[in-house]
């Protein structure tokens, strides 16, 4: 069967994430989300009764994608380290967008978002640590990934950053 059109509900979550990522949390109003998704505010509020429910819907979807990502990382042909570093620079994937959006929400002092992100990080660290058998190295690589991610989402783009990291890791026989 052909791929289904995204439901209005999913288009609303997409719109919410897009606004959070590109314009920040102050711009992600119900009005703006509805307009971005091409529905009225009343239409939005039928699917999500409040802004809080919009946040919860977004985090639920992110957690689902997180499960799949951890599996992909464990079984990646290039190995978990390279998979992790590659996916730390924003590929524009739906998962990346969800992660950045959740980080924006977490910064507004939202415990649910902070907690969901912390759980994802713990999963990633477990995969790296299991694979490398070296906690210090696993943590350092996670920090490099965090740095790549932070730079990328902050607009500090160095196109050669990943190449430089691989160069340095090679000196550690990785």
Residues that bind DNA (CB under 7 A): 8, 26, 29-32, 34, 39-43, 45-47, 49-52
The 10 Å Cβ neighbour count of residue 84 is: 24
Residue 50, helix vs strand vs coil? coil
Q: How far is the CB of 45 from DNA (least distance, A)?
A: 4
DSSP H helical segments within the chain, as ranges? Answer: 8-23, 30-37, 41-47, 51-74, 80-86, 94-107, 111-132, 135-154, 161-171
79 within 8 A of 26, measured Cβ to Cβ? no
Residues 23-52 that bind its own copies (CB under 8 A): 23-27
Give whichever of 65 and 137 is closer to its own copies, judged by the CB atom.
137
Q: Choosing among DNA, its own copies, none, which partner's interface includes residue 91 (Cβ < 5 to 8 Å by kind)?
A: none
Number of chain positions touching its own copies (CB under 8 A):
44
Tokens matching residue 16: 């919410």
Q: What are the residues binding its own copies (CB under 8 A)?
A: 22-27, 103-104, 106-109, 114, 117-118, 121, 135-137, 139-140, 142-151, 154-156, 158, 160-161, 163-165, 167-168, 171-172
């Amino acid at each position: 069967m052909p791929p289904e059109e995204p439901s209005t509900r999913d288009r609303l979550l997409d719109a919410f994430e897009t606004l959070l990522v590109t314009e920040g949390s102050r711009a992600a109003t119900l009005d703006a989300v509805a307009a971005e998704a091409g529905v009225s505010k009343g239409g939005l509020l039928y699917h999500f009764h409040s802004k809080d429910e919009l946040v919860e819907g977004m985090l639920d979807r992110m957690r689902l994608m997180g499960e799949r990502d951890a599996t992909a990382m464990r079984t990646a042909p290039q190995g978990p380290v390279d998979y992790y570093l590659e996916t730390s620079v924003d590929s524009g994937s739906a998962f990346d967008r969800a992660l950045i959006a959740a980080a924006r929400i977490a910064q507004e002092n939202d415990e649910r978002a902070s907690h969901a992100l912390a759980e994802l990080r713990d999963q990633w660290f477990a995969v790296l640590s299991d694979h490398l058998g070296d906690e210090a190295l696993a943590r350092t690589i996670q920090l490099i990934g965090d740095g790549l991610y932070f730079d990328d989402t902050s607009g500090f783009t160095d196109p050669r950053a990943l190449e430089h990291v691989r160069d340095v890791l090679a000196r550690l026989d990785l």
